[in-house]
Amino acid sequence: MTHTVTEIWRHPVKSHGREALESVTLTAGQTMPGDRVWAVAHEASSADDSAWAPCSNFSRVAKAPQLMAITSAYDVAAGTVTLSHPARDPLTFNPDTSEDLPRFLDWVRPLMPTGRAASARIVRVPGRGMTDTDFPSVTLCNLASHRAVEAAMGQDLSPLRWRGNIWFDLEDAWVEHDWLGREVQIGAAVFLVRERTQRCMATTANPATGLRDADTLKTLNGSFGHQDFSVYAEVVRGGDIRLGDPVKVL
């Protein structure tokens, strides 16, 4: 049976929404276009536009679960992002424009927990997305592994909890962990799989409600002996990827 791409997702503003795609064109050595283009630095952050910074510098779902319920739409031509949330009216703004920053901060403030460093500014590093890895990465996810987590928990879970980029169904759970150091072709693009993705509290939040309602970390550790889901990969040959494209280990 041919394994094929089932979903493609980008997250224009790190931890602030997701957007489904039908196709994407990847470039060697770069993150997915439109993915984690911006990140929201909090008031205690030292991050700026000069270099990649670890996720601890940013407002994120692990600390603010209501952010998980945001969806987004990135209008590349206009340079604007539209954010939607069940408890907020939609907001369309330009993350690169300082005049729009107060509107964004006002919009997101009710979604942030009290007692945490408040969101303060938006950071963009030219030429790369603000992934959780210090190299430009794309997250590859296996639906079979997701089903294994659901079975162990005895409840349905949205795959959106994992905030992955490219999804496919390998039929067997966790086989993607065997891809480390190997190349994988998806559509016309080729990836080098570099790391397993260690998961955090973000995955306990429901993408529909923003409420923490599933102990994913306890299940991963207790049932599978690790806290990982999906793999980080580097694009080593660019090309187009579309829904339904084949996935092949080289």
In the three-class reduction of DSSP (H, G, I as helix; E, B as strand; rest coil), residue 82 is classed as strand
| pLDDT surpassing 70 at residue 2 | no
The pLDDT mean for the chain works out to: 97
Find, among 21, 109, 101, 99, the residue nearest to 59 by Cα: 109
Q: Are residues 37 and 131 in contact, defined by beta-carbon separation less than 8 angstroms?
A: no
Query: pLDDT digit string (tens) for 84-106?
Result: 999 999 999 999 999 999 999 99
C-alpha span between 58 and 94 (Å, rounded): 19
Q: Give Rg (Cα) of the chain.
A: 17
CA-wise closest residue to 37 among 12, 20, 68, 72: 12
What is the pTM (predicted TM-score) of this model?
0.96
Residue 122's Cβ-count burial label (10 Å; 0-12, 13-18, 19+) is buried
CB 87 within 8 A of CB 226: no
Each residue of 128-170: pLDDT tens digit? 999 999 999 999 999 999 999 999 999 999 999 999 999 999 9
Residue 125, pLDDT > 70, answer yes
Residue spans per domain, the chain: 5-30+133-249, 39-123
pLDDT single digits (tens) 26-69: 999 999 999 999 999 999 999 999 999 999 999 999 999 999 99
Residue 115: its pLDDT value, please? 86
- So what's the pLDDT on residue 112? 96
Q: What's the rounded mean pLDDT across residues 179-185?
A: 98
**Could you please report the per-residue DSSP string of 191-246?**
EEEEEEEE--GGGGB-TTT--B---HHHHHHHHHSS-EEEEEEEEEE-EEEETT-B
Residues of 72-96 as b/e, b for ≥16 C-beta within 10 angstroms?
bebeeeeebbbbebeeeeebebbbe
Distance CA 198, CA 28 (A): 24
Rounded mean pLDDT, 177-195:
98
- Tell me, what's the pLDDT at 1? 54
pLDDT tier at 235 (50, 70, 90 boundaries)?
A: very high
Q: Which of 153, 129, 120, 138 is nearest to 230 (CA)?
A: 138
Domain 5-30+133-249 has CATH 3.30.70.260: no
